[in-house]
Amino acid sequence: MSYSPREQGVATIHDVARAAGVSRSTAARALAGYGIVSKEAAERVLAAAAELDYRANGVARSMKTGRSNTLGAVVADIENAFFARVMRGFTDVARANGFQVILSNTDEDPGAEQSAVRVFQERRVDGLVVTPASLDPTGHLYAAHAAGLPIVLLDRRVPGLDVDVVQIDNVKAARETIEHLIALGHRKIAMLTGVTEMEVSVHATNLDSGVSTSKDRLQGYREALDAAGIDYRPDYVRTADFHLMAAREEAERLLRLRDRPTAVFATDSTNALGVLLALRDVGLHVPQDVSVVAFDDADWADVVEPGLSVIAQPVHEMGRLSARLLVSRIRGEALPPTQHVLETQWLARESIGPPPHRRRAVLPA
């Protein structure tokens, strides 16, 4: 009991070589399948390796080669269906290319993101995919990029960081959605969004310098209102974090406004769920009293009554493309950094309709 029990795959290439009666180099060549080895030697090595249950030591290999065959993923929250699906696409492509994926949740906390990036650098990941938690303290991303680490930004941009970005056209998707509601006759359209930089963007003077998903979606919202000559009402724009109960509370506040909106635009599926819960709490009906529309085609969107109209993002493809970009950059196929804008899909279901004809100033019962 005096050794550590952590002697998994205790056989080294040295042991294999000795058992096969060859040198370490020959054993290495036979095992990793490079260089030239005679058939008999290779067979003896492979047999010895099987016999000893040899596992190559990936750590030693990484140390020597400088590559870890590992990709780091820094996501906001793996519990959010959007990120879970994106990661699924990402890991599939990564694995198909021989890369493992290390995962880190930031919970939208820039500090957590910073330390995750640092740890990943120390681990010598070969590339990094990040959904940046903020615009502001991004020095760590610049530094990592400057140090030569391939980075892909997923879902969100960072100003001035010249790397590949995979996202959708959030401004356009939001604008078109709001235009759609306006065409139906709505003029009192509220928006429930995540916290990301909202505090900044709501008060920002120069919106078109904006980045970050929420900021873009807010901009699209405002553009549509502007074009229709509808005044922007700050009290119609609420921010919740990405947790269901927070969304529900904010939504309820929205629905209890004296001048209640006739439509609510939720920027993700958790917020949408919060809106639906709040509508029930308050006793309002969709779409007769309030129309609802949201980003992301959650698996339940077609099961709730009425079906939720959504802007579907190509979640898997966003993950897959991110992985492909990272892999090709790691392989040195260095194209100039590009912003990849994927297409969204509008899925019209039953949760939107014309606004109620008569304004009701008070809530039912």
Partner DNA sequence: TTGAAAGCGCTAACAG
Partner DNA sequence: CTGTTAGCGCTTTCAA
Pick the piece of the chain touching DNA (CB under 7 A) from 24-32, 90-98, 184-192, 285-293: 24-32
- The answer to whether the Cα torsion of 239, 245, 251, 255 is positive or negative is negative
Which residue's CB is nearer to DNA, number 38 or number 345?
Answer: 38
Q: Decide which of a second copy, DNA, none touches 29; Cβ closer than 5 to 8 Å per partner kind.
A: DNA
Q: Decide which of a second copy, DNA, none touches 23; Cβ closer than 5 to 8 Å per partner kind.
A: DNA
Name 270's Cβ contacts closer than 8 Å, sequence gap at least 6. 80, 242, 243, 244, 247
Strand segments (E) across 141-221: 151-154, 164-168, 189-193
Q: Whole-angstrom Cα distance, residue 87 to residue 99?
A: 14
Which residue's CB is nearer to DNA, number 7 or number 299?
Answer: 7
Residue count of the chain, please give it: 365
Q: Are 350 and 310 in contact (CB under 8 A)?
A: no
Among 6, 64, 258, 358, binds DNA (CB under 7 A): 64
Which residue's CB is nearer to a second copy, number 103 or number 204?
Answer: 103
Pick the piece of the chain touching a second copy (CB under 8 A) from 40-48, 60-68, 205-213, 258-266: 60-68
Helix, strand, coil share of the chain (percent; to 5): 45, 15, 40
Name 138's Cβ contacts closer than 8 Å, sequence gap at least 6. 132, 158, 161
Q: Whole-angstrom Cα distance, residue 270 to residue 246?
A: 10
- Determine, following the binding rule CB under 8 A, whether residue 285 of this chain makes contact with a second copy: no
Min separation Cβ 98 and DNA, Å: 13
**Residue indicated by tokens 């095992």:** 31
- Structural element, H or E, at residue 113: helix 110-122
Q: Decide which of a second copy, DNA, none touches 70; Cβ closer than 5 to 8 Å per partner kind.
A: a second copy
Among 33, 34, 36, 66, binds a second copy (CB under 8 A): 66
Question: Which residues sit at the interface with a second copy, rule CB under 8 A?
Answer: 4-10, 53, 55-60, 62-63, 66-68, 70, 77-79, 81, 84-85, 87-88, 91-92, 95, 100-105, 118-119, 121-124, 126, 143-144, 147-149, 244, 270, 273, 276-277, 280, 298-300, 302-305, 330, 332, 334
Question: Which residues sit at the interface with DNA, rule CB under 7 A?
Answer: 12-14, 22-26, 28-29, 31-32, 34-42, 56-57, 60-61, 63-66
